[in-house]
Amino acid sequence: MIADMSWERVDLSMAERELPIAVGGSTAPHRLLEAHRHGAFPYPRCRGHAAGNPRDPYTRYLADGRITAFPCGDGGDAPAVTWWSPARRPVIAVGAQPPDGCLRDSVGDGPRWIVTCGHDFAGVVDACRDRGGSGWITGPLRSSLITLHEAGWAHSIEVWHGERLIAGLFGTGIGNVFSVDSAFGLGPHAIRVAFADLARRLRGRAELIDLQVPRDFAAGLDVRSVSREEYLDALLTIDMPLVMRAGVLAVQPLPHGAAAP
C-alpha cells in the first residue's frame, strides 16, 4: 500500500520543537509499531488543522520538508492523524523508588486493591478514552492497539477495587522502553499505584518508562526530561517485545484514615 512509505524517510534533523514530524498514513497495527520503533506516536489534528485546509498552519512546513507527508491509503482515519517525536521527552527511570507506601502488602481485613497486568486491556483503553480525556483514541486506533496487545507488544496495568476498575494505564513495550500512551485514575493515589506496579513489573527488564509528553497524571512521579537522541539510543538497543513480569498483587495503598473510592 502507498501508505506504507518507510519511516526511514522521516528527517528528524529538520523537526521543529512544537510541530509534528509527520502527517497522514495509516494507524494500522504494523504502522503503529513501526512508528514506536522510530520514537513517534500518533495524535489527531487539532480542529482547523484538517488536511487540505488552506489555513492549516502545517502547510508551509509540509512544503519545505520540515514535516513529512505520508500518503493516505484506503479508509481509516489517516487524513486526520499527526505523528509526534518531541525534542525532549518526560521519562521515569524504572529503578526509581516508587512513592512511599504505594505498594504496601495487604494484611488483615482492611480495604485492598488488586493490581493486574493485561487482564482487561480493552477496558483500560476505553476508560482512558471515556474518563481520562483521551478522545484521540479513535475506533481504528483502538482496534490496532488491541491487535498489538494480542501480539505481545502492547500491555496494560489495571487497579481494581472489588470488580470496579479504578485506575489503569496502557502502552507499547519495545526493548528497554515502555511508552505509556494513556492512563486514568479515580483519584491521584490510584494512578500512582498503577505506575508503581508498572515499574515493579519492568525492573530488570527495561530502563525507561516514557510518558511521551507532560501529563497531568504524572504529578508526584519521579519524572525527568531526556533528549530525543538519548531516548532513541535507549529505544533502539533491543528490537524485541518487552515481556512484563506476570502476577496479581494485592495492596493496601490508602492513606491512613482514607476510604476506598
> Do the beta carbons of residue 166 and residue 261 sit within 8 Å?
yes
pLDDT the model gives residue 81: 82
Q: What pLDDT shows up at residue 75?
A: 47
Those residues with Cβ within 8 angstroms of residue 261's Cβ, 6 or more apart along the chain or in another chain: 161, 166, 186, 187, 190
The verdict on 195 and 112 lying in the same domain is: yes
- Which pLDDT belongs to residue 80? 63
| 73 lies in the same domain as 94 | no
Average pLDDT of the chain is 81
Q: 257 lies in a domain?
A: no
Residue 122 lies in a domain: yes
Per DSSP, which regions of 141-261 are E strands? 154-161, 164-174, 177-185, 208-210, 224-227, 249-251
- Which regions of the chain does DSSP assign to beta strands (E)? 22-24, 41-44, 68-70, 81-84, 88-93, 113-117, 154-161, 164-174, 177-185, 208-210, 224-227, 249-251
Q: Are 20 and 56 in contact (CB under 8 A)?
A: no
Antiparallel, parallel or unpaired: β 41-44 and 81-84: antiparallel
pLDDT classification of 93: cutoffs 50, 70, 90:
very high
Confidence at residue 238, expressed as pLDDT on a 0 to 100 scale: 77
- 172 and 239 co-located in one domain: yes
Fill in the amino acid letter for 176: N
Rounded CA-CA distance 251/107 in Å is 8
The listed range with the strongest mean pLDDT (154-158, 193-197, 231-235) is 154-158
Give dist(CA 41, CA 251) in Å, integer. Answer: 32
41 lies in some domain:
yes
CB atoms within 10 A of CB 200: 17
Domain residues for 134?
Answer: 89-251
102: confidence class by pLDDT, cuts 50, 70, 90: low
Decide: 27 and 144 in contact? Cβ < 8 Å: yes
Residues 114 and 207 in one domain: yes
Q: How confident is the model at residue 259, as a pLDDT? A: 40
85, 100, 116 - which closes a domain:
85
78 & 141 share domain: no
Asked if 101 and 230 sit in the same domain, the reply is: yes
Q: Are residues 134 and 224 in the same domain?
A: yes
DSSP classification of residue 53: -
Task: Please check whether residue 218 lies inside any domain of the structure.
Answer: yes
Find the helix packing angle between 121-130 and 139-150, rounded to 10°. Answer: 150
Residues 137, 98, single domain; the answer is: yes
Q: What CA–CA distance (Å, rounded) separates 192 from 154? A: 20
State the pLDDT at residue 73: 56
| Residue 142: inside a domain | yes
C-alpha cell read off for 1 = 500500500
pLDDT digits (tens, 9 = 90+) for 203-261: 999 999 999 988 887 777 889 999 999 999 988 877 788 888 888 888 865 553 344 44
- Asked which of 85, 120, 150 is the last residue of a domain, the reply is 85
Q: What is the pLDDT of residues 43-84, one digit of tens each?
A: 766 544 444 554 467 888 888 888 988 886 544 444 468 899
Give the residue-averaged pLDDT of 177-201.
Answer: 90
Is residue 61 situated within a structural domain?
Answer: yes
| Domain CATH for 194 | 3.40.630.70
Q: What pLDDT does residue 210 have?
A: 96
From 53, 85, 117, the end of a domain falls on 85
Shared-domain flag, residues 42 and 143: no
Are 28 and 122 within one domain? no
- Do 215 and 95 sit in the same domain of this protein? yes
At residue 46, the pLDDT reads: 55
pLDDT of residue 103: 62
Q: Structurally, how many domains does the chain consist of?
A: 2
Residue 260 covered by a domain = no
Q: Judge if 74 and 142 occupy the same domain.
A: no
Confidence grade of residue 41 (pLDDT, cut at 50, 70, 90): very high
Residues 113-141 have pLDDT tens digits of: 999 999 999 999 999 998 766 667 889 99
Label residue 20 left, alpha or beta by phi (over 0 means left) and psi (-120 to 50 means alpha). Answer: beta
- At residue 31 the predicted structure's pLDDT band, cuts being 50, 70 and 90, is very high
Asked if the structure places residue 256 within a domain, the reply is no
d(CA 113, CA 92): 24
Quick one: pLDDT at residue 83?
92
